[in-house]
Amino acid sequence: MSQALKLSDLIDEMDMQSDDSNGFVNKKTGEIVYIMREFLSMAEDGEKGDHLPSWEQKQLKLAEDIVFSFEKYQTIPSKYDMNEYDIMEDFCLAVKNERHQQQLLTAIRGKGAFRSFKDKIIALDLEDDWYDYHHNRLKEIAIDFCHRHEIKYEDK
């Protein structure tokens, strides 16, 4: 019997991703694991890790399990799957105050959109609203991910 994934853990992991590692959910245990891409490449290439320190050997062994037992694991949604810009734009459109909405929409156009947006939500005192909105959108994405991949989850 498989264990349920903690939805809050998945949301946290989706929000704190690194460019040099991939996150996976073990469908059976509900555990989220991160593997550096170099270890996935080594596993795919069949490299032996005898020369590696013990912690890296453990990472390589886990990478081999992911590569050769891929049906046990599912890659968690990446930052590219989530499209942060669209979430940011949707937040702007959801703001009820039209003046604030227009200021936010102007802030996200052009170069430096993310920095301008952050500065503007602080200036308009919408930072808490933004973080609540962002968290709820990540939660929607996480739930959809679990449904699509038949991963049991608990939302506590």
Local confidence pLDDT in tens for the 156 residues of the chain: 468 999 999 999 999 888 888 999 999 899 999 999 999 999 999 988 889 999 999 999 999 999 999 899 999 998 888 899 999 999 999 999 999 999 999 999 989 999 999 999 999 999 999 999 999 999 999 999 999 999 999 997
What confidence score (pLDDT) does residue 108 get? 96
Give me the residue spans of the domains in the chain.
Answer: 18-77, 80-145
What confidence score (pLDDT) does residue 35 get? 93
From the list 39, 40, 35, 4, the residue with the least C-alpha distance to 17 is: 35
Cα–Cα distance, 25 to 156 (Å, whole number)? 18
What confidence score (pLDDT) does residue 119 get? 97
At residue 153, the 3 state secondary structure works out as strand
At residue 21, the 3 state secondary structure works out as strand
Q: Write the CA distances from 31 to 3, 14, 58, 70, 108, integer angstroms.
A: 9, 14, 16, 15, 36
What confidence score (pLDDT) does residue 156 get? 78
- Per-residue H/E/C for 41-109: HHHHCCCCCCCCCHHHHHHHHHHHHHHHCHHHEEECCCHHHHCHHHHHHHHHHHCCCHHHHHHHHHHCC
What confidence score (pLDDT) does residue 58 get? 93
Query: pTM value?
Result: 0.85
Q: Are 153 and 144 in contact (CB under 8 A)?
A: no
